[in-house]
Each structure stands twice: as structure tokens, then as C-alpha cells.
Amino acid sequence: MKFRQYFASIAIVTLALSLGAFAKDTHSGNFTLSDRVQVGATELAPGDYKADWTGPASDVKVVITQHGKTVATAEGKIRDMQQRAPYDAVLTKKTDNNTLQLDEIEFNHRTEALQLGGE
């Protein structure tokens, strides 16, 4: 009987540890640009991208990749939203020189938005 309890305990611990390897990475998300936008000094063309970020929510370092290659980096922060985003959304703002700047990315079914520029 003790052997079964011991074996069951080991099995539960092993399962719990292995689930961490399959957990969804919440520090990245995919997004699509339909217009040319600025991210820092870099202009991104319309297309599909991935944003990865590290650091505390108030000061994240963002790396934007396309086809596995880094195309832009920026600073930003994570904004908590009251509700889950119903879909992916890219918010832009016009700069003084009339270009679009990537301002915020909301990811489908998540309650956090990625704000770029650290503002």
C-alpha cells in the first residue's frame, strides 16, 4: 500500500513538472500590420510579426521578429485591460511628420496589452 502511495506521489510531481514545459508563453504574441509603421527608427512593412518581451511590466524590452529574424527593438510596458481582448488589434498614432507609429498591441483573448515607447 505504501508503495502505491509513493508511486502515485512521484507520478503527480513528474506530471506537474512536465506541464511547465508545455505552458503557453505569455511573454510573446503574434500580430499583423496592414500599414507601414515606425517602431523606433525602424519602418516595418505590412505583414505578420511576433513580439517578444522581457522585464518588469513597467519597463519591458521588446524584440519584434519576422520569419525568425529580429527586425526592430523597442522599450515599452504592459497595460492591464479590464476585459480580455476579443481579437488581435494594432493601435497606431500619427507623428509630427505624418508617419504612423506603432503605439499598442492587444492580443486575442488576453487581458494585457503591449504599449510601445514606454509612455
3-class DSSP string for 15-70: HHHHHHHCCCCCCEEEEEECCCEEECCEEECCEEEEEEEECCCCCEEEEEEECCEE
Q: What domain range is 89 assigned to?
A: 25-116
Whole-number Å distance between alpha carbons of 91 and 42? 17
Whole-number Å distance between alpha carbons of 14 and 34? 45
Whole-number Å distance between alpha carbons of 111 and 116? 16
Residue 31 lies in a domain: yes
What are the tens digits of pLDDT across the range 6-61? 444 554 545 444 444 444 446 999 999 999 999 988 999 999 999 999 999 999 99
List beta partners, residue 47.
33
Residue 10 is predicted with a pLDDT of 55
Q: How many domains does the chain have?
A: 1
Residue 108 lies in a domain: yes
What are the tens digits of pLDDT across the range 57-95? 999 999 999 999 999 999 999 999 999 999 999 999 999
Residue 110 lies in a domain: yes
Residue 9 lies in a domain: no
Residue 37 lies in a domain: yes
Residue 32 lies in a domain: yes
pTM for this entry: 0.75
